[in-house]
């Protein structure tokens, strides 16, 4: 089956919490194999948009179409099984098992739901992709360590490994470099770009720090008070007066 070049379509999505319109009709289109960033000052509605896309919140209005199918209002685990992975919080890492085992479990959960149980106990089939992921993130030498002994930055890498182990079509990253040092942030953004390219992965990334996404995104959409105020390639976004205004007026950290 030929796959459409559009992976995700968000169509006039609105989400209100009481009187507050966290999202006031946002539309965007994410194309296959691109890194698409959603940026905006704190409170702009970025996480709410992610929560609607990943099924955590049902939208008040609008539609979400993933791989050609309407997924609006479906439960998160159903959306996840269709190939949309969101980075888990650190609490989803099993702290007391090894780095390798964490990724292996994630990988085998995918094999189980996709009916590939035949390969479940075939060690090389599981070991190879797990090791490839760990190598890509520089975690291979730490594979026998308990996950809880990784640094904060390494644990965030492990979270991304867990999401990638399920072989998603679309990877959602919510502020992947939060809490990292400037050095780690630089390294992590380069790594996300490299892995997306190597795997032909489609990435939807949200971030409040504009500088993080400039070097790695193909396209950027800017949210401000629940509305999309700009969209385009990084160079255009950087110099867009509406975006500069939103950041000067709305940035609170
Ligand atoms: P961002 O991720 O861009 O910082 P959010 O999507 O988290 O912004 O929040 C957008 C607005 O919606 C904020 O004003 C926030 O306080 C509000 N909000 C988010 N989630 C909830 C919720 N579960 N209940 C009430 N208000 C919420
Ligand atoms: Mg947020």
- What is the pairing mode between strands 170-174 and 219-224? unpaired
Which ligand places an atom closest to the C-alpha of 40? 1
Nearest CA to ligand 1 atom 12: 22
Please give the mean pLDDT across all residues of the chain. 88
Which ligand places an atom closest to the C-alpha of 250? 1
Spatial neighbors of 145 by CB under 8 A, at least 6 apart, are 98, 99
Q: What is the dihedral of CA 159, 39, 83, 218, to 10 degrees?
A: -110
Spatial neighbors of 11 by CB under 8 A, at least 6 apart, are 27, 62, 63, 64, 65
Q: Where are the alpha helices (DSSP H) in the chain?
A: 46-53, 76-81, 99-113, 123-136, 152-165, 182-199, 210-214, 234-238, 241-250
Q: Say what the pLDDT of residue 115 is.
A: 53
- Over range 3-23, report the average pLDDT: 94
SS3 95: coil
Which ligand places an atom closest to the C-alpha of 174? 2
- Over range 94-117, report the average pLDDT: 80
Q: How far is the CA of 22 from the centre of ligand 1 (A)?
A: 6
Q: How far is the CA of 234 from the centre of ligand 2 (A)?
A: 20
Nearest CA to ligand 1 atom 5: 45
Nearest CA to ligand 1 atom 15: 43
Where does ligand 1 bind, in terms of residues with CB under 6 Å? 17, 20, 22, 40, 42-48
User: Is it the case that residue 164 has pLDDT exceeding 60?
Assistant: yes
Residue closest to 175 by CA, chosen among 40, 66, 31, 85: 40
User: Which atom of ligand 1 lies nearest, measured to the CA of 48?
Assistant: 6
Q: Mark the residues whose beta carbon lies below 5 A from ion ligand 2.
A: 46-47
User: Is it the case that residue 90 has pLDDT exceeding 60?
Assistant: no
Residue environment code for 106-119, b if the CB has 16+ CB neighbours within 10 A, otherwise e: bbbebbeeeeeeee
Q: Report, in angstroms and rounded to the nearest whole number, the Rg of the chain calculated over CA atoms.
A: 18
Q: What angle do CA 241, 223, 230 make, to 5 degrees?
A: 45
Packing angle, helices 152-165 and 123-136, rounded to 10: 140
Higher pLDDT pick, 138 / 180? 138
Nearest CA to ligand 1 atom 21: 17
User: Is it the case that residue 1 has pLDDT exceeding 80?
Assistant: no
Higher pLDDT pick, 88 / 160? 160
Sign of the alpha-carbon torsion through 88, 91, 94, 95: positive
User: Is it the case that residue 116 has pLDDT exceeding 90?
Assistant: no
Q: Say what the pLDDT of residue 120 is.
A: 52
User: Is it the case that residue 252 has pLDDT exceeding 60?
Assistant: no
**Which has the minimum average pLDDT: 88-97, 123-132, 207-216?**
88-97
User: Is it the case that residue 45 has pLDDT exceeding 90?
Assistant: yes
Strand partners, 14: 24, 61
Residue environment code for 142-177, b if the CB has 16+ CB neighbours within 10 A, otherwise e: bbeeebeebeebbbbbbbbbbbbbbebbbbbbbbbb
- Pocket residue to mutate for ligand 1, from 10, 20, 247, most atoms within 8 A of Cβ: 20
User: Is it the case that residue 253 has pLDDT exceeding 50?
Assistant: no
- Phi and psi angles of residue 154, each rounded to the nearest 5 degrees, phi first: -65, -35
């Amino acid at each position: 089956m030929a796959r459409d070049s559009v992976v995700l379509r968000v169509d006039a999505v609105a989400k209100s919490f009481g009187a507050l319109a966290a999202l006031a009709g946002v539309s965007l289109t994410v194309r296959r194999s691109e890194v698409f960033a959603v940026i905006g000052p704190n409170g702009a509605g970025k996480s709410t948009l992610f929560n609607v896309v990943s099924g955590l919140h049902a939208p008040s209005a609008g539609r979400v179409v993933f791989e050609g199918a309407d997924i609006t209002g479906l439960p998160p685990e159903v959306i996840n099984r269709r190939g949309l992975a969101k980075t888990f919080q650190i609490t989803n890492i099993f702290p007391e098992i090894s780095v390798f085992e964490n990724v292996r479990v994630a990988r085998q959960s995918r094999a189980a739901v996709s009916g590939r149980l035949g390969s479940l106990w075939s060690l090389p089939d599981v070991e190879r992709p797990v090791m490839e992921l760990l190598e890509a993130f520089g975690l291979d030498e730490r594979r026998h360590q308990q996950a809880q002994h990784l640094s904060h930055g390494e644990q965030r890498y492990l979270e991304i490994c867990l999401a990638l182990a399920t072989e998603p079509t679309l990877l959602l990253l919510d502020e992947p470099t939060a809490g990292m040092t400037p050095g780690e942030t630089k390294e992590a953004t380069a790594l996300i770009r490299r892995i997306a390219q190597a795997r032909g992965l489609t990435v939807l990334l949200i971030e409040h720090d504009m500088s993080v996404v400039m070097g790695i995104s193909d396209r950027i959409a800017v949210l401000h008070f629940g509305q999309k105020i700009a969209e385009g390639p990084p160079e255009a976004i950087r110099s867009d007066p509406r975006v500069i205004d939103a950041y000067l007026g709305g940035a609170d950290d």
